[in-house]
Amino acid sequence: MIPADIRFSVAPMMDWTDRHCRALHRVLTRRARLYTEMVTTGAVLHGPRERLLGFSPIEHPVAVQLGGSNPADLAAAARIAEGYGYDEINLNVGCPSDRVQDGRFGACLMREPALVGECVAAMKAAVSVPVTVKCRIGVDDQDPEAALDALAEAVVRAGVDGLVVHARKAWLQGLSPKENRDVPPLDYGRVARLKRARPALPIAVNGGIGTLAQARARLDEVDGVMMGRAAYSDPARLIAVDPELFGEPAPVADAFEAIEAFAPYLADALAGGARLHNLTRHMLGLFNGRPGARAYRRHLATHGSRNDAGLATLREAAAHVSQADIALETTAA
């Protein structure tokens, strides 16, 4: 049976989905599965592990995404991540950046499905939590039918617990990582065909999903959807995830209530030495589209980096939206 929490997840995004971002998203939705930024095996094995892997218990269910291509190193890194309490280990086979390619991992591994299978098998042998793969439908001149089938066959044989497919090719030369998120055309049909061919394999689709209506449409074809930039840039949309996709009450009523629900986490982080700017940079889009949103963002940009910035600074920023709401109501009356 497909676990309910695969139905919706927030994509791993470098420089964005850090622990503070994930804690905010958890305030907005109890059910979405959250992912870390990609962490390389070298960083896990030799770097500052607590800074890279530490997270708040409120984030569950949360998955760690690993980058690497050496089965032994991935097994060791997965074992360490499991020790930190992650609910899932995900292997990155989708990132197209030059740095990732130079390290022989990410999207270029679409050309080496047998190696990906070895990596999955090694991680499965090392941990008891689910091991999943996030991939593309192909790279460069690969035929997406053959490339995705080969990748799926290799990881299924290795015992993979699920597949997240970004429904675009990646072009390893000639396109930047940003362009690789937009320029190659989306092919949701290819992912749907994979699901029909492998009904027992849990499959989620990623890429170009900007609204919950679009997410529901994809759920007619696959088991789950993963939303990336739309969830980050407009986090308030996550408030509707639980009622619309899981049939459960939303944890907060609106963005104002979300700020108050997030306040204890913010207070603890500030007491631990975090700067307000590093916490609220993930909240800049919280009031997107509402009167006063620009003033809210400007207030945080101007005052959030000060040494004495704290919860009061965030509440003062949100007050710009409240005041705009009152002005609109007064005008309407």
The encoded tokens of residue 201 equal 């394999």
Determine the pLDDT at residue 306.
Answer: 94
User: 4-246, what's its fold?
Assistant: TIM Barrel (3.20.20)
* % of the chain with per-residue pLDDT over 70: 94
Residue 277 is assigned to a ligand binding site: no
pLDDT 10s digits, 226-269:
999 999 999 999 999 999 999 999 999 999 999 999 999 999 99
Residue 228 is assigned to a ligand binding site: yes
3 state DSSP class of 33:
strand
Residue 307 is assigned to a ligand binding site: no
Residue 94 is assigned to a ligand binding site: no
Give yes or no: 95 in active site.
yes
Nearest CA to 240 among 205, 262, 215, 259?
215
If residue 44 lies in a helix (H) or strand (E), which one and from where to where?
helix 41-46
What are the residue ranges spanned by the domains of the chain? 4-246, 255-332
pLDDT 10s digits, 108-149:
999 999 999 999 999 999 999 999 999 999 999 999 999 999
Round to whole Å and give the CA distance between 22 and 55. Answer: 9
Residues 192-202, mean pLDDT to the nearest whole number: 97
Cβ atoms 237, 32 nearer than 8 A: no
Task: Kindly report the pTM of this predicted structure.
Answer: 0.94
Residue 288 is assigned to a ligand binding site: no
Round to whole Å and give the CA distance between 64 and 53. Answer: 8
Task: Kindly report the number of other CB atoms within 10 A of residue 21's CB atom.
Answer: 23
* Signed CA dihedral, 122, 224, 180, 178: sign only: negative
The encoded tokens of residue 56 equal 């708040």
Residues 78-97, mean pLDDT to the nearest whole number: 95
Residue 243 is assigned to a ligand binding site: no
Residues 97-115, mean pLDDT to the nearest whole number: 83
pLDDT 10s digits, 22-76:
999 999 999 999 999 999 999 999 999 999 999 999 999 999 999 999 999 999 9
Determine the pLDDT at residue 326.
Answer: 67
The encoded tokens of residue 324 equal 């705009």
Round to whole Å and give the CA distance between 179 and 195. Answer: 27
**From 21, 95, 119, 135, the catalytic residue:** 95
Confidence of residue 180 (pLDDT cuts 50, 70, 90): confident
Nearest CA to 256 among 319, 313, 327?
319
Which single residue is written with the structure tokens 């449409």?
A: 217
Provide CB contacts within 8 A for 207, sequence distance 6+. 166, 167, 168, 181, 186, 228
